[in-house]
Amino acid sequence: MLTVGMQAPNFSLEDTDGNQIQLSDFKGKTVVVYFYPKNNTPGCTLEAQQFRNHLADFKAKNAVVLGITIDTLKRSCNFSDKNELNFPILTDTDGSVCKEYGVWQLKKNYGREYYGIVRTTCIIDANGIITQLFENVRVKNHVEEVLAAL
């Protein structure tokens, strides 16, 4: 389980442009990594659109935004294109990064139990240290909370 103050685990995942993106690529910048359950669902779409709409505010704070999902690359490409996302969406199709970051958890919905991503956002400083964790995120006003934390 990750905690504030620890070194963020490095990862290398493919983005929707076919590039391998590593966390270490952003040394010297603040990185906002948000994990979301599934492309094209109402909450995930709204969250992505809010990050998109505030990207200039993140850039003004020398921060980059990365979205991570376990959805397929094809679905992630369609999602990114459809919503005109201006930041990388990374695909963790084997779930290894989600597990390492502790966001792959047992969930319960209408009496059904299953494993999935628990919506989580990490703020990682320029030295790769986790400075803030938002767990079990509620989408409404979340992006504003992240910006305020920066």
Catalytic residues: 44
Which residues, other chains included, contact 72 with Cβ-Cβ below 8 Å and sequence gap of 6+? 91, 93
CB 41 within 8 A of CB 83: no
Beta bridge partners of 96: none
| Distance (Å, whole) CA 8 – CA 127 | 9
